[in-house]
Structure 1
Amino acid sequence: MKRSVICLIIIVSLLLPCISFAETTEMRAVWFSYQDYKSNLFALSENDFRAGADEICKNISEAGMNTIIFHVRAFSDAFYDSAYFQYSKYVQGEAGVSPGYDPLKLMCEATRKYGLSIHAWINPYRIGAPTNVTESSVAHSWKSLYGNDRICEYNGSWYYNPASPYVREYIINGVREIVKNYDVDGIHFDDYFYPTADESFDKTSYEASGTALSLNEWRLENVNTLIKDTYSAIKEINPNVVFGISPNADIEKNYESLFADVKKWGSQSGYADYITPQIYFGFENSTLPFEQTTDRWCELCTEPDLYIGIAAYKSGLEDKWAGNGKNEWIERSDICSRQIAYIRSKENCKGFMLFSYSSLFSESANPSAKAELEKITSLLKESQTTPKPVISFMDMIKTILKYIFIFN
């Protein structure tokens, strides 16, 4: 018996390091916006759409990336068959017109062919110019019946009122139908929350609420409620579908203007599975230099996974508001690849997202963007490694039992 115990200890100590545990996969994503849709998939037949979706996914995969963030709701519309939102005008050229197939369904199928993940990207509150809102839409009906209680106006555009529980349920129902009906890996909200800090935007709702909170606190709580309830709704349907948010890179602006409580989302569970701040700045930006801004987000984001949004669309262009760094994207064609390298040097950064697809993969992409894509692809290919064969837990148990039998 003593020999068996000694043998067991020796064998376990030798085999334990070989057990395979799940590893975190680096997020390597590309945003595919409604503008990318218009440039690549607009008004296509089903067969042509399938071919186009295959080409898009093939390009992303061959560049060493693994995820597409696919726009499914840009302006209170849909790029799929929805029971709540009309088809986007960017699908066929006219709002409410079906292409005769389901774009999101076909894009999901294409991603699986090429081993990609797909996150459905939603702008929750943005509706757009009233001239683009059809009379048969929910937004038009609500504005006519309820005015600013559900639809607010700012700078010539309409927005859903974040204070309205009816708005919140409507947005979440749109999320539910995607998670229930489509093979998506994630739901993705970006940085469009409140469009302004102007007190008049939702003054009536604030006064009617009777809250003891300040206006800013109340607005933050309105958005927090949507985020938390969206997270819960997703997990109730499918716990494996992740919920991510891509806020503005400027932490102070999130609080003072957009009313996005990024500190809470980044430090508490139950709000998001990942945060992707849009750090669309070069290393030499005078106000929000990339490294320092990334470092701040690393300190802030301790609960969900942290990915970093990168501005591939700036490649080869003047960065007008960057101060001393306004020519950085013109003078260098390795900014994105260097930013990826910096992200990888940070322990709690788990990956990156590039904006946007057409900026990198379009035939008309500028030479600097094409050079960036080559460098990114090379960097990602170099870092791809084949896992060494490992022994499974069951094989280890079988081996232990075998040697115990031999020694006895």
Structure 2
Amino acid sequence: MMPPMSRRRWLGAAGALGLSACTTLPQPAGPVALEAPAIPREFRAAWVATVANIDWPSRKGLSTAEQQAEVRATVALAASLGLNALILQVRTSADALYPSALEPWSEYLTGTQGQAPDPAYDPLALWIAEAHARGLELHAWFNPYRARQSAAQSPLHASHLSQSRPAWVKTYGKQLWIDPGEPEAAAHTLAVMRDVLSRYALDGLHIDDYFYPYPEKDAAGNEVDFPDEPSWQRFGLATGLNRADWRRQNVDRLVEAMFRLTREVRPGTQLGISPFGLMRPDARPPGIAGFSQFDKLYADVERWLREGWLDYLVPQLYWPRAQAAQAFGPLLQGWLALNPQGRHVWPGLFTSRINAEPTSWQPEEIVGQIDLTRQLHPASGHVHFSMAALTQNRRGIADLLRFSYPAPALPPATPWLPAPAAPALRLAWVDRQHAALLADDGSPPQRVWRWWRVQGQWRGELAGPGLFAWPADADALVASAIGRNGLEGPRQGWLR
């Protein structure tokens, strides 16, 4: 396959050469489109964490060229492994991994909060372009409440919320947190998300398991309550709710507002949430025990599923299959049973537990969890935390995943998303070997699926816009555009 070209270059080349009438080129053949099989479906993703330089950039202070090279290498590796989506952390701590008028540049780029890359570029725009060029989805991951992570070292910039709106920000343990009980703080977070949704062609908006913070303990081992007394006095008491229910209401309102925001600003964009992996105690399968995010993080995930305030859920099932109190299989089945709206449920896998330590997981645990997910919930998906484990090929996990992903797959469709139907396609030839797939209006679709027939067998591939080469051993092509909701457009066929 040829490397991606700019839309202007390959559209210009296709129009200028006008070779589509050449009789030696493949010709339209509608009936062959009926022969190709259904597209295989599975969400195969990895989180790309920027906080503390977990995944990207590999360290603070890399040059612009080095940062960009790492982006391209990461996306290329993801595509070569068979992944079809990346979930990039763009707001780690009330900061930005993109140019923003609302929050300062993240320190994890240059080493200094508020300092832009030099030479200047837009990291998020580059990630989207590189992912889309290969047919991968790019989801933007936000931390709605964390304001400073414990490993942060840079001085806080004057535009950071802790400096500009200190009443919203609380010290809790070794970190700073935006108080979920402050309505103006929630409005600011939504404004940040609106800004990104309006400017970038995102496939998903994503948040993880940080709502109210995980409990801190004092020297005596007692839990320290989150210091939200001012917002409780000003806003909570008037609701008539107890404090725990008021806190849950604060989080519920943000989740619902995020869902409605995605529908308003960029229809067709998915909202994804990745909570802690255990459901509330009264909704658990028999034998499951442990931490309650409902009671401690004030996250009523079960309600969000009931209400349909999300498009996909990625519960962090970060335990081995044999760990009875948090067993992977029963937990996955439990979450599926709490899903009356039929939203996507894809487990988060703790792939980074594969490391150099004596307590490391074996790669076979992750492969086994993928296999079990396919058995319990066929044509669904999973997400790896995080990309670093695959980039470093820890204990050969990347090599093993090539066997787990023997052929490309398309993420499952999300038919409830409001999105235009995918268009029919035509071939625009640039020379006797290379072509582009275009809609009738001449525009390239973001994603296409191509089936090649080689010696009577069909070989599929997921691709972005751009030129491609007709393989020498293929005698037929069947292609379709993929809409923003993942539904397949009309198939077209050509014979050589």
Matched, 1:30 2:43: no
3-state SS in 1 of match to 2:206: strand
3-state SS in 1 of match to 2:239: coil
User: What's 2:105 paired with?
Assistant: 87
> Taking structure 1 as reference, are residues 312 and 155 closer, same or farther at Cα in structure 2, changes over 3 Å only?
same
2:229 and 2:37 map into 1 onto residues whose CA distance is 53
Query: Which of 231, 234, 242 is residue 259 of structure 2 equivalent to?
Result: 231
Report the CA distance between 1:52 and its aligned residue.
Answer: 2.1
User: What's 1:300 paired with?
Assistant: 338
3-state SS in 1 of match to 2:128: helix
Moved more, 112-121 or 384-393: 384-393
User: What's 2:199 paired with?
Assistant: 181
User: What's 2:88 paired with?
Assistant: 70
> Taking structure 1 as reference, are residues 78 and 393 closer, same or farther at Cα in structure 2, changes over 3 Å only?
closer
> Taking structure 1 as reference, are residues 202 and 132 closer, same or farther at Cα in structure 2, changes over 3 Å only?
farther
Matched, 1:205 2:205: no
Report the CA distance between 1:359 and its aligned residue.
Answer: 1.4
1:237 and 1:159 map into 2 onto residues whose CA distance is 27
User: What's 2:161 paired with?
Assistant: 139
Which consecutive residues of structure 2, in runs of 5 or more, have no partner in the other structure? 1-30, 216-223, 281-291, 410-457, 461-476, 481-487
Report the CA distance between 1:393 and its aligned residue.
Answer: 10
Moved more, 338-347 or 73-82: 338-347
1:200 and 1:48 map into 2 onto residues whose CA distance is 40
What are the Cα deviations for residues 39-78 of structure 1, in whole angstroms up to 9, with x where unaligned? 5374344443333211111100110111111110111111
Q: Is residue 153–residue 159 contact of structure 1 (8 Å, CA) maintained in 2? A: yes
Matched, 1:345 2:375: yes
Letter in 2 for 1:33: A
Report the CA distance between 1:157 and its aligned residue.
Answer: 1.9
Report the CA distance between 1:168 and its aligned residue.
Answer: 0.9
2:109 and 2:489 map into 1 onto residues whose CA distance is 50
> Taking structure 1 as reference, are residues 217 and 54 closer, same or farther at Cα in structure 2, changes over 3 Å only?
same
Q: Is residue 310–residue 352 contact of structure 1 (8 Å, CA) maintained in 2? A: yes
Q: Is residue 280–residue 311 contact of structure 1 (8 Å, CA) maintained in 2? A: yes
User: What's 2:122 paired with?
Assistant: 102
User: What's 2:11 paired with?
Assistant: none
User: What's 1:11 paired with?
Assistant: none
1:231 and 1:394 map into 2 onto residues whose CA distance is 30
Matched, 1:267 2:306: yes
User: What's 1:158 paired with?
Assistant: 176
User: What's 1:373 paired with?
Assistant: 398
TM-score under structure 2 length normalisation: 0.67
2:490 and 2:339 map into 1 onto residues whose CA distance is 37
Letter in 1 for 2:346: Y
1:66 and 1:334 map into 2 onto residues whose CA distance is 22
1:325-364 correspondence to structure 2 within 5 Å? 329-330=360-361, 332-347=362-377, 350-362=380-392
User: What's 2:453 paired with?
Assistant: none
> Taking structure 1 as reference, are residues 237 and 318 closer, same or farther at Cα in structure 2, changes over 3 Å only?
same
TM-score under structure 1 length normalisation: 0.80
Q: Is residue 305–residue 348 contact of structure 1 (8 Å, CA) maintained in 2? A: no
User: What's 1:315 paired with?
Assistant: 354
Q: Is residue 244–residue 298 contact of structure 2 (8 Å, CA) maintained in 1? A: yes
1:90 and 1:108 map into 2 onto residues whose CA distance is 19
Report the CA distance between 1:143 and its aligned residue.
Answer: 4.8
User: What's 2:466 paired with?
Assistant: none
> Taking structure 1 as reference, are residues 215 and 393 closer, same or farther at Cα in structure 2, changes over 3 Å only?
closer
Q: Which has the higher contact order (CA 8 A, sep 6+)?
A: 2
User: What's 2:220 paired with?
Assistant: none
Which consecutive residues of structure 1, in runs of 5 or more, have no partner in the other structure? 1-14, 320-326, 397-408
Q: Is residue 343–residue 349 contact of structure 1 (8 Å, CA) maintained in 2? A: no
3-state SS in 2 of match to 1:287: helix
Q: Is residue 89–residue 96 contact of structure 1 (8 Å, CA) maintained in 2? A: yes
Q: Is residue 19–residue 393 contact of structure 1 (8 Å, CA) maintained in 2? A: no
Query: Which of 245, 267, 273 is residue 245 of structure 1 equivalent to?
Result: 273
Report the CA distance between 1:140 and its aligned residue.
Answer: 2.5
Query: Which of 239, 255, 263 is residue 294 of structure 2 equivalent to?
Result: 255
- Alpha-carbon RMSD: 3.1
3-state SS in 1 of match to 2:321: coil
2:357 and 2:339 map into 1 onto residues whose CA distance is 31
> Taking structure 1 as reference, are residues 255 and 381 closer, same or farther at Cα in structure 2, changes over 3 Å only?
same
Aligned sequence identity (%): 25
Q: Is residue 29–residue 352 contact of structure 1 (8 Å, CA) maintained in 2? A: yes
2:43 and 2:214 map into 1 onto residues whose CA distance is 32
What are the Cα deviations for residues 279-315 of structure 1, in whole angstroms up to 9, with x where unaligned? 1111122431111211111112332211110000112
Moved more, 87-96 or 230-239: 230-239
1:230 and 1:73 map into 2 onto residues whose CA distance is 15
Letter in 2 for 1:344: R
1:194 and 1:203 map into 2 onto residues whose CA distance is 14
> Taking structure 1 as reference, are residues 394 and 311 closer, same or farther at Cα in structure 2, changes over 3 Å only?
closer
Matched, 1:287 2:312: no
1:386 and 1:286 map into 2 onto residues whose CA distance is 41
Instruction: Pick the structure with more strand per residue.
Output: 2
Matched, 1:40 2:40: no
Query: Which of 124, 130, 142 is residue 122 of structure 1 equivalent to?
Result: 142
2:249 and 2:37 map into 1 onto residues whose CA distance is 39
Q: Is residue 172–residue 226 contact of structure 2 (8 Å, CA) maintained in 1? A: no
3-state SS in 2 of match to 1:69: strand
Report the CA distance between 1:343 and its aligned residue.
Answer: 1.0
Report the CA distance between 1:257 and its aligned residue.
Answer: 0.8
